[in-house]
Structure 1
């Protein structure tokens, strides 16, 4: 697990799509590039200072030949990856970064922005590109999610969610892009079902003890990749979490007391290394093979035990709608409560679904799996003891999943 000391706080990181190169944007305004090998050995390739103000964001072209850098200096710089030189600068590209919620759409071939969107009034925390619809999803500190159709010349979003009563910090997709997961300030993962529209989330999954500042998919060749995410929290722990059904798969990396701001997987998201960065001036590279592959061989049954004996004996959370179905099944739910209007855009034909009754089935955990606890739910239960994590949560809706706050206590 190599640590690359970069000498300053990292605001953003990005990997080259085809080569073993990683780039970091720093508080000092520098952009540094490092090469690495299969053993985790690394070497600095170049360091360039396109601005004297902090570099807040990096993005790379699909071919990997150009690197885009933006920051507090209000400009946009283009860096040639082969030489490490700044080849173009667009001064005054934005006024306040994303702090006021302004989103600008650019064509790399043109010097001026094509359009500016002002429907958000607080900072923009993350973007997500939906290739099938050519939609750009934006998360904001104002508590709403918006969807922009980049093909439209309108300055209004294609859709915008209701106020989620929490800062939205990070975005990722699961289930082949059909469900959008949003990390929030209160440590809740909100689930938006695209078929149900963008008006409101369909599920809210508590459990993280602190804010979820970064989300990232794992390579598609791993088991359950369509429902597994890497989550970076302000408690400094990088976790692998499976959703629907929900369980902790393990701790991938630990940044100590420093919050995790960015996560990325190399080779276009299909590689071996995951990079994570917090406030400790270190870029941490973690080998995903050690996390997702090594454990598989050791956990195989040794004496021909049957399936029941070799199972993880995890707690299964189930939804009953006339017959038992695992939460993991792709059951369509209506997300918008009565009396609230849906955002325009993709609509749902699943409003006829009956309200589910949630029950839990607990089994004894094996000693070797004591670090993994499933989220638990009971529709009828006594009022729990006062918990600081529960104090700030809004009233549970009928589609929410309630998790025990002790889920991550042992980590």
Structure 2
């Protein structure tokens, strides 16, 4: 990629991955599921004219992508043309660092000051805002069956409305993905990617590691054949991923 990547997201239905870079650019690559050794092909560069792309997320069934910037703006971009659909200024009082899809037309954003906002993507409007931690929130995921957000914090804890527990490795958790109703995948400051059980709360097994760099973002491909990870080494790492390997 040539520049540091802050976020990664896979298209919800086709073999396309987007990375948001430190210089504000957005890169789209197509990848092959038939040949894991083939290199991804860059198909579109978007020069968004923002300070940097701290958060990126496909919305509207993959037709658009949201970007969050340190200038507190949100930019919606057309995935086919790279043109701007909408721009909102002063959306947070701190830098937006993560997006998560909740429902078809609803997403949530978090910032560096522990604020979570819920947005309607049809009108690009915020209709709810709340705080959940005393320390900053590093990542969130959504349990749709019980309508709950699961959050990781810079103090090394996981929480929702009913429970909180510490990572036994005592490292800051930077990012996570929901695997199923009982397990999540976490990326930590020490470079480890772990499979973590929820009730009982435990690390089930390590999946991979970036030995020299903290893991900043994790994302599944639309068919869950690939798990993408980002660290600050200018590389997007695709791990061939099989759910059968991680059966409970």
TM range (shorter): 0.7 to 0.9
Q: CA deviation at 1:265?
A: 1.0
Query: Is the 1:26–1:56 contact (alpha carbons within 8 Å) kept by the matching residues of 2?
Result: yes
Report what 2:14 is aligned to: 19
More strand by share: 2
Matched, 1:262 2:217: yes
**Are positions 1:279 and 2:232 aligned together?**
yes
Q: Deviations over 1:251-289 (max 9, x none)?
A: 43322210001111111xx51000011111111000013
Gap change, CA 1:92 and 1:211, over 3 Å in 2? closer
Aligned-partner Cα distance in 2 for 1:120–1:248: 22
C-alpha contact 2:138 2:175 (8 A) present in aligned 1: no
TM-score, with length taken from structure 2: 0.77
Using the TM superposition, give the Cα deviation of residue 84 of structure 1 relative to its aligned residue in structure 2, in angstroms: 2.4
Q: How many residues align?
A: 230
The structural deviation recorded for 1:46 is 1.1
* CA distance 1:122–1:213, change in 2 (3 Å): closer
Cα contact 1:106–1:113 (8 A) shared by 2: yes
RMSD, aligned α-carbons:
3.1
CA distance in 2, matches of 1:14, 1:209: 27
Given candidates 176, 181, 185, the residue that maps to 2:155 is 185
TM-score (norm 1): 0.49
Q: Does 1:105 align with 2:118?
A: yes
Which 5+ residue runs of structure 1 have no aligned equivalent? 1-5, 140-167, 170-183, 193-197, 219-224, 297-327, 329-411
Q: Which structure has the larger Rg over C-alpha atoms?
A: 1
Report the counterpart of residue 214 of structure 1 in structure 2: 175
SS in 2 for 1:63: helix
Check whether the contact 1:10–1:278 (CA below 8 A) recurs between aligned residues: yes
Instruction: Give the 3 Å change call, closer, same or farther, for CA 115–43 of structure 1 in structure 2.
Output: same
Whole-Å separation in 2 of the counterparts to 1:118 and 1:247: 26
C-alpha distance after superposition, 1:326-366 (max 9, x if no partner): xx9xxxxxxxxxxxxxxxxxxxxxxxxxxxxxxxxxxxxxx
Decide whether aligned partners of structure 1 residues 108 and 205 sit closer, same or farther in structure 2, where only a CA change above 3 A counts.
closer
